[in-house]
Amino acid sequence: MTRLAHRITVITGAATGIGQATAHLFAEHGATVICADRNIDTLKATVEAIQDAGGQAQAHELDVSSEDAVKAFADAVRREHGHIDVLFNNAGIDQEGGKLHEYPTELFDQIISVDLRGTFLVSKYLIPLMLDNGGSIINVSSMSGLAADLDRSGYNAAKGGITNLTKAMAIDYGRHRIRVNGIAPGTIETPLVDSLAGEPDDDDGKKFRDAQTWVTPLGRLGKPREMASVALFLASDDSSFVTGETILADGGVMAYTWPGKMLFEAGWKESAE
């Protein structure tokens, strides 16, 4: 269980959800995990849990949309560690905003600023810590960065940008032995989903999850640990000849063109987990 032994890893959005699960898994595999998030209290709890389990982790408060904050964070990492081996750009937000002509400009700017610009800024200031020794960068896109959703054009634009930014970074840094890949999760049981759709015990949350299990070929929502396992593969030497790719981990949602027989086949809905 030491696929990342002695590697210095940075994870943004590490307080909860996919970032939290990845921080735990990386630490289990021997990495020193530098955890960054705006929610410092929850982040500290995550780091303490990793340390209590015998892992090495640190907590840094960080707003990835602030260039000054990202520069200061990168400087702090450089002073303490000198280099990093893995960067997991996971921080992101999401919110419905209505049809494009009604979509609030400030909401569009906020989502782009955190999701897309944040990925750019953190990469810009931490890549210099990887140039000498190489490494792996993993950007979190979404199935919503490969296709579109109703009333979420800001999120679609941000995640679509991350998908192609990943390819650009892979080309830019391949000769520096830095691999750059992405993960495109489907619907995952995280606090973000709870805030958007309702918690599992709420009426709205139940309706949302029923719809998601119906539309997903695997018949359930994904788990943060499952996304962390994809990140571990991309961070480790197991993916040493993989770069410029975005791995879709959506339970099969993007495998079909339209629901077709799923719409009227009773056994399909009944077979969901």
Reported confidence tier of residue 243, pLDDT bands at 50, 70, 90: very high
pLDDT above 90 (res 5): yes
Say whether pLDDT at 260 is over 90: no
Q: How far apart are CA 176 and CA 43, in angstroms?
A: 32
| Rounded Cα–Cα distance for residues 56 and 67 (Å) | 27
What DSSP assignment string belongs to the chain?
--TTTT-EEEEES-SSHHHHHHHHHHHHTT-EEEEEES-HHHHHHHHHHHHHTT-EEEEEE--TT-HHHHHHHHHHHHHHHS--SEEEE---------SGGGS-HHHHHHHIIIIIIHHHHHHHHHGGGTTTT-EEEEEE--GGGTS--TT-HHHHHHHHHHHHHHHHHHHHHGGGTEEEEEEEE-SB-SHHHHHHH--TTSHHHHHHHHHHHHHSTTSS-B-HHHHHHHHHHHHSGGGTT--S-EEEESTTGGG-SS-GGGGT-HHHHHT--
User: In the predicted model, is pLDDT for residue 248 greater than 80?
Assistant: yes
Computed over every residue of the chain, the mean pLDDT equals 96
> In this structure, are strands 86-89 and 8-12 parallel, antiparallel, or unpaired?
parallel
Burial environment of residue 86 by CB neighbours within 10 A (0 to 12, 13 to 18, 19 or more): buried
- Contacts by 62-65 with C-beta closer than 8 Å and gap 24+? 62/12, 62/36, 62/37, 62/38, 62/91, 63/38, 64/12, 64/13, 64/36, 64/91, 64/114, 64/117, 64/118, 64/119, 64/121, 64/122, 65/113, 65/114, 65/117, 65/118, 65/121
The residue to which tokens 């719409």 are assigned: 263
For 95-154, write each residue's pLDDT tens digit.
999 999 999 999 999 999 999 999 999 999 999 999 999 999 999 999 999 999 999 999
* Residue 115 CB-density burial (10 A; 0-12 exposed, 13-18 middle, 19+ buried): buried
* Range of 1-5, 64-68, 259-263 with top mean pLDDT: 64-68
pLDDT tier at 269 (50, 70, 90 boundaries)?
confident
273 vs 22, higher pLDDT: 22
Distance of CA 133 to the CA centre of its chain: 24
Higher pLDDT, 1 or 160: 160
pLDDT at 266 over 90: no
Phi, psi dihedral angles at 244 (to 5 degrees): 80, 10
Q: Which of 103, 155, 173, 256 is catalytic?
A: 155
pLDDT in tens, 179-212: 999 999 999 999 888 888 888 888 989 899 998 9
Catalytic annotation on 256? no
pLDDT (tens digit per residue) in 25-81: 999 999 999 999 999 999 999 999 999 999 999 999 999 999 999 999 999 999 999
pLDDT at position 166: 98
pLDDT for 273 equals 62
Domains and CATH numbers, the chain: 8-270 (3.40.50.720)
